[in-house]
Structures are given as structure tokens and as C-alpha cells.
Structure 1
């Protein structure tokens, strides 16, 4: 097994850059994950894992199938350089972002479109919720936080490895979906219907918007119907990730 001792090693420098620089993640199509759960989810799709990095304080579980995968030992100093959590488990993986053929969208029946949501934790939670509620894909529009930010990855809890997550022009996506007769729901306070009064559809797309300003008005004008989660108490609004969860289950459960 290969071992790396120096933080000045070129590979370690590359890993650190992937952690800290979004442009590097975009350019290379690579990212870093941390912790047993995320690494275990990643190795279920071996083709996306480039390297597993394991520190002196951690062990690879015996039930993991890592045959023919590169495993590198790292010392405590490098572990601290790579750790994004306060109490790191000392195991990491260098992964490739999944490649998605956008033409596959003809087979996607339930899609979440995210317009300019800026908090990585919200993005990760929505990806995880889309996965849990059985959606086929998540599309991130302009202004949204990076899907491969370390906070996003932790919030999504491995769902990045379960469904397509792509960046795209949401207006163009809405047009493509409407050509396929997919019902497009927007979320808005005005001129909207409570989600529990909406007729259930076998195929649908849900657009959710920015934490402060909501969905872009032009994009909102392209929807078939706008829906809302009614506020029954005195709160002025719901967190966008919480509202997304309520809406997705409201639209998917019959």
C-alpha cells in the first residue's frame, strides 16, 4: 500500500485545492469526501472513486469491497490538512463527479429544479430529500451553491451517488420538460394553490428558489401552476429545504 508522509506532496496539494477551490472542482470534475458513510456510498460506484485515503487512526472495514481500488495511507499531519470536520474519522476519498448524459432526461419523470439557492447546507438537504422521495434528477440553476462543496456533500449524506445532479439553464430545462408534457410547478406566495389541493401528476418538475427572493420572475412565468405550503402559525416563512421536503412528498405520495 502506498503511503504519503509530506503535506508538500503534489497529490496532497491537489486534494487540498479540490477542497477549497470551486473552479478546481469544476475544471477537473473531481471532489473530496470525508467520513466512513460517504466513502462507503462512493465505493458502491467504484468507477467514480480515484483514491481512498486512510489515516493511521482509521481502518478500512473488512466488509468493504475495495479490490482493485487505490488505497493510500496518510499520516496525522495530512489528515488534519484534509479534515473539514472537527472530529474527523480519518478516512477520505478522491472521487470523480458523475457524468450525466442530459438526453437521458426523456426518462426522468420527477425532477427538482433549484434556482439560486445559496446555502450549501440547503442544497445538500434538498438533494438528499429528492433522493429519499424518489425523484429522478436534480438540476441546479445559475447562482446556486456548488453541489460538491464539502458542506453540501455532508448534508446530502451520499445521495450524490444515487441520482443525477447537473448544472443547467433552468429556463431551457422548463421548455424541454413542457415539450414532454411534464407539469412544471413553481413555488410562490402570490397566485398559488396550497400543495395539498393540487391534483397528483405521474410526471412533474418542481422549481424552488432563492432563500430571500424566491424564484426568478421570468422563470416563475413559465410554470404551469404555482403552489405553496400554507403557514398555519405566526412564522413568516419556511426554510427552503424544509418547504421543498414537504412539497416533494406532497406531490409524490398519493
Structure 2
């Protein structure tokens, strides 16, 4: 048997709304919220841990969530009214997860290839732009994405949505500009910067050596 929630005044519902809306709360609790089967599966594939899974039986059948192999005490059945209060998208299949955050420290990054290809982003602000960059990195099979001085946390719901879950499948680390430059130099990775009036076309660069 699963625990059930039918009231939007339930403290768990209020906690989830706080996690969705406030970066400070996400950082304090080291938790974030994910909607949708695909995104939750990608989070698990990326080594994330589900704290609580909530599902609406009016929308999704119980057998669909059994693939997550969670103990019953980690699963909560919610009413359609509660789900509609929590869901930010129209097509998330009736399932929402609270997931444990990762630290994303530079020293946690390891490379599968001897000469990695890395995307470095400087002070991105808009979650949608960060999500698009993560999708591009995933499609190009880059070795890592390093974000210098980010203006929003990686678990902003709009980043998760716009990245289509690629925030979980990419190796991502954050740090100051100085920290990232030092990290790249320590790992003998060449640094290239894009500019409108560049002296050399990006197409003429040999990226077969470690490049960022």
C-alpha cells in the first residue's frame, strides 16, 4: 500500500511547490523536482537518487512506475487535483519525482577520452538557453559542460524542461572563471574563445587534442 495525498494543503505538496519555485530552497535541501517518465528515467541513468515518487492513478497506471524499483515507502499516490497543482507541463504522464541533487564540483569531472572536447559557458542567465546548450552538448557527444559563474542553479525546472533531461546525461560542473581556466590548464586542455571579430575561423582549428 502507498501513502495517499488528496489535499493541496498537505505539507509535502507545499514543500514540492517551494522546491519548484525557489533556488534557495533547492540548494538548502539539496533536492529538486522532475516531471515525466522520460526525464526521471534519464536522471536515474545519470546516477541520481529518487527520494520520493508521486503518481496520479487517474493519469498513469501503477505498473508504469514499478520499473523504477522503489520501495513502497518512497512512493505516494496523489489525487488529480494535487497533481494539477504540482504539474508545470500538460504532458508529464502523471508522475513527479523529488530527487537528490549533485554537487557538480570541477574535481568530480573525469574524462573517458584522452583528448576531451568540452563546452565552456560564461555566466549564462536564461534557463532556456542553458537547456539548449545542454541539448547541443548531448547531441555532439561532448565530454563535459563547464559553466562559469552561473546565474541560476542547474535544477531550475525550466532548465530541466528545456534540456529535455540532458542536464542529467551530460557531465556538468560549475565554478568561477578562474577556477575553470585553472582546471583546463591543469588537464592540458587548449582554450578557445568565440568572438565576432576573431582572427581565425573556428573551422580551421584542430580539435583532436583536448579542447575547450
> Any gaps of 5 or more consecutive residues in structure 1?
206-254
**Residues 139 and 167 in structure 1, CA contact (< 8 A), matched pair in contact too:** yes
SS at match of 2:33: strand
Report the equivalent of 2:101. Answer: 97
SS at match of 2:193: strand
CA RMSD across the alignment: 2.3
Q: How does 1:57-96 map to 2 (within 5 A)?
A: 57-62=59-64, 65-69=67-71, 70-96=74-100
Q: Using CA pairs under 8 Å that are at least 6 residues apart, name the structure with larger relative contact order, 1 or 2.
A: 2
> In structure 2, how many angstroms separate the alpha carbons of the residues matched to 1:137 and 1:60?
36
Instruction: Tell me: CA distance 1:39–1:171, structure 2 relative to 1, closer, same or farther (3 Å).
Output: same
**Residues 127 and 159 in structure 1, CA contact (< 8 A), matched pair in contact too:** yes
Q: Deviations over 1:62-95 (max 9, x none)?
A: 4853223422111112111111114543211111
SS at match of 1:183: coil
TM-score, normalised with respect to structure 2: 0.85
> In structure 2, how many angstroms separate the alpha carbons of the residues matched to 1:3 and 1:93?
15
Instruction: Tell me: CA distance 1:62–1:85, structure 2 relative to 1, closer, same or farther (3 Å).
Output: closer
Note if 1:173 corresponds to 2:180.
Answer: yes
Report the equivalent of 1:197. Answer: 204
**Residues 22 and 146 in structure 1, CA contact (< 8 A), matched pair in contact too:** yes
Note if 1:9 corresponds to 2:31.
Answer: no
TM-score, normalised with respect to structure 1: 0.72
